[in-house]
Structure 1
């Protein structure tokens, strides 16, 4: 076993906790609850958007749906003190339950689903799927629900009935992705009644739902030396977990009271569909939080302008490792590899927000943390994805840098990364938040 492999095999505390986090976070709402639990253990307290905020030192967080904003006020923070923001997102591509979920065909009971985000459709075939999300109740409250059991399955057509399947599978998003969950005639109301019962509720009390499927196979280490991590929702719960761990570590460190910046974690929802929601990066959510913390400290518009002028955001999202079976799809001079450390994501057409100055900020954080880092640039002939980075930069006018870690199978029902990279990313984020 190589030295790097030995380190990945034995240094598992962070990745073990990531596996636990993924297991309790099958939906954005659960991811927020899991992150909030970790922050509360670090001394953070929950605040409400409808109540006045004070300026006492310490950690705070707020939750809005599938989004979470958390921050730590050092003792010496003035109204002009700039912020250090780690930006992430809580949502992942999947299959989501439609408003009228009960359907069926040819004697099968099925569940009507809508495709959320950029899904490689074939990766959801022949997987045992559970259900998770939230139920909206008559009294205005919401109840989280997580059913980690094999309830649903999208069965693939047998090769005997489609001999050309290996020549290129064609899946119709409406007809071919409807999961089965039993036999018999369509029973209207049965799915929500079942979910409500499992949540300890009466079906008539449920007036709305945001439910989605998730692969019930747990995350696990992979490979001869267990140096890889195979898991669902790495994009982008790995970054949410890393950002949460980094913020908690900074807030509980010996030097927390004297931090030169105000460290912030912004975990948005709906990045996979464009961020256009009240919990997405295009909303005023983060800006409002930063403004309110400035105002609570007696800040003026001048103080706000000064604070944001010195603010930097690291947008942390998954990136692409070089694929051994498709190396031609990657930029020849930039081949990020698993366990090679975080990646700096660059695109001159502003699909990523990184520029030369941002590169220096990222490099300084990695050097301070003592972690290696890599650079990702898309092949010129392959369209580049994007992140919350450019949105955040444009929305708030703050310096923003895009980073992440290298992975394979992005957006698949199950993704793959190096087992050491999550800890290396968290270490870099902590160093960045410390300033």
Structure 2
């Protein structure tokens, strides 16, 4: 395993929820000398690294003495991943089984979550205003599949009702035999009666692993999109160490998988507020934004060997051949020609190979935070990402060299003054 892939595996293991991903990013940034910029406090003056956290979203930047004179370079990703979120009243069950009520979060590939050992991670909110992170990293939940003997046609088509068929089991008895919130509160030495609310997500417990004859692939959960978050955090730390002629910025948004229309999503005001301050204020930002660029970094579809009919044959992305530039004529990706040239310049400077991904005309593509940022900020934006198979599965697959290649190209993008 390359050093970057090994470090990514460590990041993924530390980050079973958006809140944990932010905490791990803060840990790494703090170790590199970055200090917190409180959202409700005075602006921290002087040169140096800063980070700002709100819930599952993090912004970080390297601030020169006079940042307004330099163009902004923004590396944007998202901290959330598709899966299942626990409902407010979680304790359900029937026929002697205790179960947990969940709802689908994002465009999860439901069948990939069946018959897996699952943990829980997230946060508990208390009546006194405190928020306490929680995680259970042992087999706690399982969404059991129906035996083939009871559904002889399952291999010809699996149909799942998210209300009926996707409830995890976590024991035997009645729902009142072991309340989930009580169990979690006791696990962090808190009074269950003082828990007012929670944000909890299931996570796959199988650790990242190498795959293939030559160990050239890595199988892992949450590559979409923590592979990009990891690359962005490490690229910012590396770029800051070079004292670039730019203001390098990293943002990891929450809620991308559910549309970004939240206070901490890409459609919210948080990034614009920080960038306006870094540009020197509202009046000054017009000229600074015009010289700035955003890089929207989200995984892209690797060419699927069993489903090549779903891909444009002239724009196939293959693992370990570098990150892919993502292009779409109707701007589901924000890339344009000048932006593409800037990205390719960064790749050439870094000595990183790169590819181009375009969807097949008959297979509409998804979207990213890129078009949202471009629309809100008016800053030229480029969409890129490393190729993965099984996107939105509980477990995805990428090339072992691509995390390091994305990091190197990201450093050059953040430091590029042109």
Scaled to the shorter chain, the TM-score interval is over 0.9
Select the residue among 355, 360, 370 that pairs with 2:336. 355
* Equivalent in the alignment of 2:39: 49
Provide Cα deviations, 1:287-346, integer angstroms capped at 9, x if missing partner: 00112234xxxx354421111111100000000110000001000111110000010000
Q: Residue in 1 aligned with 2:267?
A: 282
Pairing 1:318-333 to 2, within 5 Å after superposition: 318-333=299-314
How far did 1:402 drift?
0.1
Count residues with an aligned counterpart.
416
Correspondence for 1:264 = 249
* 2:285 paired with 1:304: yes
In the alignment, the residues of structure 2 paired with residue 78 and residue 131 of structure 1 have an alpha-carbon distance, to the nearest angstrom, of 41
2:204 — aligned with what? 215
Pairwise CA RMSD of aligned residues?
A: 1.0
**1:79 pairs with 53, 60, 68, which one?**
68
TM-score, scaled relative to structure 1? 0.94
Q: 1:93–1:117: 8 Å Cα contact kept in structure 2?
A: yes
Report 1:114-129 matches (<5 A). 114-129=103-118
Q: What residue in structure 2 maps to residue 27 of structure 1?
A: 17
- What is aligned with 1:316? 297
Runs (5+) with no aligned partner, structure 2: none
Equivalent position of 1:68 in the other structure: 58
Q: In the alignment, what sits opposite 1:190? A: 179
SS at match of 1:126: coil
Establish whether residue 93 from structure 1 lines up as the match of residue 82 from structure 2: yes
Residue 6 (structure 1) aligns with: none
CA–CA distance in 1 between the matches of 2:281 and 2:89?
Answer: 50
Post-superposition shift, 1:194? 0.3
SS of the aligned residue for 1:51 comes to: coil
1:252 aligns to 2:237 (yes or no): no
SS at match of 2:164: coil
Could you state the TM-score of these two structures normalised by the residue count of structure 2? 0.98
SS in 1 for 2:284: helix
1:105-120 pair list within 5 angstroms: 105-120=94-109
Cα deviation code 1:120-146 (max 9, x no counterpart): 110010000000001101221111111
Q: Do structure 1's residue 412 and structure 2's residue 393 form an aligned pair?
A: yes
Alpha-carbon distance in 2 for matches of 1:352, 1:140: 39
1:401 aligns with 2:401: no
The residue that corresponds to 1:131 in the other structure is 120
Structure 1 runs (4+) deviating above 4 angstroms are: none
Q: Structure 1: how far apart are the matches of 2:286 and 2:44?
A: 21
Please give the residue correspondences for 1:130-169 in structure 2 after superposition, counting only pairs within 5 Å.
130-169=119-158
Matched position secondary structure for 2:123: strand
SS at match of 1:79: helix
User: Deviations along 1:334-369, whole A, 9 cap, x unmatched?
Assistant: 111000001000001000000111110110000011
Q: 1:180 aligns with which of 156, 165, 169?
A: 169
Distance 1:289 1:149 in 2: 39
2-side partners of 1:418 and 1:301: how far apart? 42
